[in-house]
A and B are shown apart, each in its own frame.
Chain A
């Protein structure tokens, strides 16, 4: 079989099947995580429905706080799903898959509009990532590559349909191949892409505000001896961004990443950060993370800071006695 035939039929078929399998697997993992997590709750079906609704609709405090960004994000993702599935020209993919299932079709003019919207939002994401220094600093090469992978099939597809921009005429014969290959890569990436929280250990002070803000108990902290560990499982996470909003040090990032090892870690809470806790010099109980202590010492330097709140009350009362 020649190269053209391979990318047009075999590769399309393989990537579509991998995509479908991965999506089904992810949904099963997601359900499994919710069921395991719901043991603590009284009424499981309600919790299940709530979690599913929460993970697909922007109903969180943070989404309402940033309406523009949230709506742009949702519109972009709706375009990414609708355009390839509902486009009439993609009928051949469904025929190649040899299934009886045909998706609902949207009129071509609407597909055109959605594709243009997706292209513009993709470019906006790229410009935003480059131009805002705060975001640029925390971006890795992957973030740019993912945006480009997501928009490339749309740009090439739009060119194939309308063929207006003459500037790229030299790609005329290759644009078809670019469209197919980028589409396949896009589908494969989308299947294994995980959106997960990351804590920057240089900035994090270990205060656990993110854990308190988390609506799904995905982030967990455990204080054992004098170590506080932060645990996180990405299948439980609904990517709402509450932790980012809560963090006083801007140390939390919610980021797309691709890690096949993590993909199969179902309901295993990964340790994403550890922080040391300070012990009281009088009763030797742990009372605050060391980075918080260091931050507070800069603010005002006193001996009482080394005591736990309970011992401070005693200390203060003793001063009264004297």
Chain B
């Protein structure tokens, strides 16, 4: 089977809201344990007990890529990511204004934008996520997972139907 590229998969139901991924990400990229510098952010609903990590989706037709006036954002086919050329970036923040997921952030000290780059193929957030909420798997496997989920739901529904 040919390699379809790997993707970062988030299972929100498994997240405990420990925010270790944020720390690891900030330390890996900026050398400071400052969650504000993290590429991945955990959205919390403490009352409901829901924690959902949000990160760059590496869109195929990325709006940030289309809108960049200097062409600093491009697709990396090898890793299947959208990457920023920091030397070309002028810091106009148009990509921050256009990103549908709010995944693009601006660093005021370096004066450049930043987003998830999947740590060049070895995402540290995945490595440190103990509960297995984050996974870095082949794109083909994602659809298999989804198929399994759908099949399981169907099976439960079938069982319920036979019980009735």
Q: Which residues of A does B touch, CB under 8 Å?
A: 205, 207-209, 212-213, 246, 248-249, 287-288, 292-293, 295-296, 299-300, 302, 304-305, 307-314, 316-317, 320-321
Specify which chain A residues have a CB less than 8 angstroms from the CB of B20 in the assembled complex.
none
Alpha-carbon distance A33/B63, docked complex (angstroms): 43
Closest to A210 in B: B90
28 A–B contacts from the bound complex (CB under 8 Å): A205-B92, A207-B91, A207-B93, A207-B94, A208-B91, A212-B90, A212-B111, A213-B90, A287-B96, A292-B92, A292-B94, A292-B97, A295-B94, A296-B94, A296-B97, A299-B67, A299-B98, A302-B100, A309-B96, A309-B104, A313-B41, A313-B43, A313-B54, A313-B101, A313-B102, A314-B43, A320-B12, A321-B45
Judge whether B105 is part of the interface by a CB distance below 8 angstroms.
yes
Tell me the minimal C-beta distance from B160 to chain A in angstroms.
Answer: 22
Contacts known (A248-B90, A248-B92, A314-B43); A296 close to B67, Cβ less than 8 A: yes
In Å, the complex CA distance between A308 and B100 comes to: 10
Whole-angstrom distance between the alpha carbons of A100 and B52 in the complex?
81
Residues of A within 8 A of B96 (CB): 287-288, 309
B133: Cβ under 8 A from any A Cβ = no
Residues A317 and B43 in contact, CB atoms below 8 Å apart: yes
A316 adjacent to B100 (CB under 8 Å): yes
Complex Cα gap A249–B94 (Å): 12
In the complex, are the beta carbons of B93 and A292 less than 8 A apart?
yes
Q: What residue in chain A is nearest B41 (Cβ atoms)? A: A313
Q: Which of B12, B54, B90, B97 has the most CB of A within 10 A?
A: B97
B70 part of interface (Cβ distance < 8 Å): yes
What's the Cα separation between A178 and B153 when bound, in Å? 95
A305 vs B64: C-alpha distance in the bound complex, in angstroms? Answer: 13
Let me know if B8 is at the binding interface, CB within 8 A: no
Question: Is B97 a contact of A305 with CB atoms below 8 Å?
Answer: yes
A contact residues around B99 at 8 Å (CB)? 309, 312
Q: A287-B97, A313-B102, A321-B52 are in contact. List 6 more A-B contacts (CB 8 A).
A: A213-B90, A248-B69, A312-B100, A312-B102, A317-B43, A317-B52
Q: Which of B43, B45, B104 has the most A CB atoms < 10 Å from its CB?
A: B43
Binding site for A on B (CB under 8 A): 12, 41, 43, 45, 50, 52, 54, 63, 66-67, 69-70, 90-94, 96-105, 111
A207 to B96 CA separation, bound complex (whole angstroms) = 11
Bound together, the chains give a CA A258 to CA B96 distance in angstroms of 39
Nearest-CB residue, chain A, relative to B111: A212
> How many inter-chain residue pairs (CB < 8 Å) link A and B?
84
Q: Cα distance A300–B97 when bound, in Å?
A: 12
Chain B residues with Cβ below 8 Å from A310 are 102
How far does the alpha carbon of A302 sit from the alpha carbon of B101 in the complex, in Å?
12
Q: Choose one: A246, A299, A317; the contact of B54 (CB below 8 Å).
A: A317
A281 → chain B closest CB, angstroms? 14
Closest to B44 in A: A317
Q: How long is the Cα–Cα vector from A313 to B104 in the complex, in angstroms?
A: 10
Collect the chain A residues with CB atoms within 8 Å of residue B50's CB: 321
Question: Shortest distance in angstroms between B113's beta carbon and chain A's nearest beta carbon?
Answer: 11
Kindly provide the distance from the CB of A223 to the nearest chain B CB, expressed in whole angstroms.
12
Could you tell me the distance between the alpha carbons of A316 and B99 in the complex, rounded to whole angstroms? 11
Nearest Cβ distance between residue A157 and chain B, in whole angstroms?
44
Contacts of B70 in A (CB 8 A): 248
Name the one of B45, B98, B103, B105 contacting A296, with C-beta atoms under 8 angstroms.
Answer: B98
Residues of B within 8 A of A308 (CB): 102
B63 touches A299 (CB 8 A): yes
Q: Which chain B positions have C-beta within 8 A of A300?
A: 63, 98
The 7 closest A-B pairs by CB, nearest first: A248-B69, A312-B102, A309-B102, A207-B92, A317-B43, A317-B52, A288-B97
Task: Give Cα A205 to B70, complex, Å.
Answer: 15
CB distance from B20 to the nearest CB of A (A): 18
Asked if A316 and B67 sit within 8 Å, CB to CB, the answer is: no
Q: Considering the chains assembled together, what is the distance between the CA atoms of A310 and B92 in angstroms?
A: 18
- A321: which B residues are within 8 A, CB to CB? 12, 45, 50, 52
- Report the minimum CB–CB distance from A32 to chain B (whole Å): 27
- Give the Cβ gap from B87 to chain A, nearest Cβ, in Å: 10
Chain A residue contacts of B111, Cβ below 8 A: 212
Residues of chain B contacted by A212 (CB below 8 angstroms): 90-91, 111
CB A211 to nearest CB in B, in angstroms, measures 9
Chain A residues, CB < 8 A from B92:
205, 207-209, 248, 292
* Residue in B66, B101, B104 whose CB lies within 8 Å of A299: B66
In the complex, A296 Cα to B97 Cα: how many Å? 7
